[in-house]
Structure 1
Amino acid sequence: MKRLIAPLLIGLIGATILVALGTWQIQRLSWKSDILAEIDQKIAGDPQPLPRVISPSEQRYMPVTMAGTIETGALFVLVSVKRRGPGWRVISPFTTDDGRRVLLDRGFVPTDAKGAPLATGPATVLGNMHWPDDRNSSTPDNDITNNTWFARDIQQMAETLDTEPLLVITRELSPADKGMTPLPVDSSGVANDHLQYAVTWFSLAGIWILMTGVWIRRLMHKG
């Protein structure tokens, strides 16, 4: 029996650690779900005038409304939209009635629409302020010369279009932007993989216990 003590301890300790990790992920799932609910509530809140003092950490997803003019010029950000395929996010300069010039994410157009004329002129925007994090280690550098962007680098876009480094993503535009499909912000882009992680850890705990049982059985048969 003494030789069974070590595998029993290893099995119990290993399974306990794995179950604890799974339980921690369940707790993280609850925490992340609360955060996503707060984000959704903020996105759908009452729109405010475009703030003068900018605080990205506090104003991310803040709903705003602004009236002004969509100016000429646009940047094209390569994206892929579910059930529609590849295309472009169109970013244009927008001058508000009080003279501010900001970036306006107008929405999605198909790939072959890159050279098509874009509407300009007076418009009223309902949207959300955002500081997107599109870039990762595999994202290519933006090709400014050919107007092919792979990430919405706000500072770089602002320098290119001579605007404030401030991006508003359209939810509604009046008059409607013909041929453009708005891509409003939502919480779907915020990763929430904690349930998958929890299932993985609990599955590993089950496998660990099973393998420990096999180990002990073999030791008993040898005895």
Structure 2
Amino acid sequence: MSKTRTVTSKADRTGGKAARPRLWLTVLSLTAFALLIALGVWQIERRAWKLALIDRVEQRVHAPAQPIPAPAAWPTITAASDEYRHVSATGRFLHDRETLVQAVTEEGPGYWVLTPLQRADGTLVLVNRGFVPTERRDASTRQTGNPEGKVEITGLLRITEPKGGFLRNNVPQHNRWYSRDVAAIAAARGLHDVAPFFVDADAGSQSAGGPIGGLTVIRFPNNHLIYALTWFALAFMLAGKLLVTFGGGLFRRRRFVHEPAGGPDAAARRTGSDAGTIVEQA
């Protein structure tokens, strides 16, 4: 049986070491793998939270209307516990204090009409009566749709929007509104004892010729499963790369053969920059 013997040079021997991943690269790769797995798990948890939120909101929206919270409960109102509750309120609209907030709806661009509703105890709650197109911005064009006297409205409790619209801040001094900021609107209109939330009136509360109610959009983006699968896929791709890098040497078969010192090539092996160990390739 013939054997092929080759002499490995110093470069060959050091090259084997150089092919191994450096320690810092190994640590970095393992850290990245752990981080990707953690991100995937976090997205799974976020998905569970989002599904619970959607279910909770659906229950609130379709529940029978309850009176809006009493003033004593106003400081405890939060989005998590109260937003989108189906509520009712009775009072008299102060049409001369209405505020128009820019809106884009399924009906097109226009304005939300926010009107204070004065209740029997003197407190006020802002009611988003609904949408009007730009050509009906002037209150004189919809006088017939402004009910006088006592009214009862039902709708969804909404949390104030103090940060303005997308890339646009409210400008109260110029009467330009891009979000339904209850406190700012109350201050601009000289209103007191105002609830820290507003009510989106439903379609059943609109009057003939008045704003179009019932246009509240309830939408919660739920892409967490896609994000989780993306993070996990990246983690497994990285794991595959690490397996190839670290496990490559496991599939190579090398046997080191030491020839007798008196062999014919011994002198060549003992001298010169290429002196080294003879390797027999299997």
Short-chain TM bin: 0.7 to 0.9
Distance in 1 (CA, whole Å) between partners of 2:44 and 2:91 is 47
Relative distance call for 1:128 and 1:177 in structure 2 (3 A) is farther
Q: Compute the displacement of 1:150 (Å).
A: 1.1
Structure 1 match to 2:172:
144
* Contact persistence 1:127–1:184 (CA under 8 A): no
Q: Does 1:180 align with 2:211?
A: yes
Deviates more, 1:179-188 or 1:72-81: 179-188
Q: CA deviation at 1:177?
A: 4.8
Contact 1:129–1:169 (8 Å) recurs in 2: yes
Partner of 2:193: 164
Task: For 1:170 and 1:124, locate their aligned partners in 2 and report how far apart those are by CA, in whole Å.
Answer: 10
Residue of structure 1 in register with 2:7 after alignment? none
> How far off its partner does 1:151 sit?
1.4
Aligned partner of 1:155 in structure 2 is 183
Contact 1:61 1:185 in 2 (8 A): no
Q: Is the 8 A contact 1:125 1:172 kept in 2?
A: no
| Separation in structure 1 between the aligned mates of residue 116 and residue 163 of structure 2, nearest angstrom | 22
- Classify the secondary structure of the residue corresponding to 1:182: coil
* Residues 1:85 and 2:85 aligned together: no
Q: Is the 8 A contact 1:48 1:65 kept in 2?
A: yes
Partner residue of 1:128?
156
Query: Is the contact made by 1:43 and 1:186 (CA closer than 8 Å) also made in structure 2?
Result: no
Structure 2 contact 66–87 (Cα < 8 Å) conserved: yes
Corresponding pairs, count: 220
Report the equivalent of 1:194: 224
1:161-214 per-position Cα deviation (integer Å, ceiling 9, x unaligned): 3253322221144462535222555641x5544334323312422443455467
Q: Which residue does the alignment assign to 1:65?
A: 88
Query: Which of the numbers 48, 53, 56 marks the counterpart of 2:77?
Result: 56
Offset at 1:85? 3.3
Relative distance call for 1:5 and 1:34 in structure 2 (3 A) is same
State the shift of 1:92 in Å. 0.8
User: Which segment is superposed worse, 103-112 or 157-166?
Assistant: 157-166
Which of 81, 104, 117 does residue 127 from structure 2 map onto?
104
Indicate how the Cα distance of structure 1 residues 209 and 183 shifts in structure 2: closer, same or farther if over 3 A, else same.
Answer: farther
**The structure with more radius of gyration:** 2
2:234 maps to 1:204? yes
Match of 1:87, SS state, is: strand
Q: 1:117 aligned to 2:142?
A: yes
- TM-score by structure 1 length? 0.77
Letter in 1 for 2:158: H
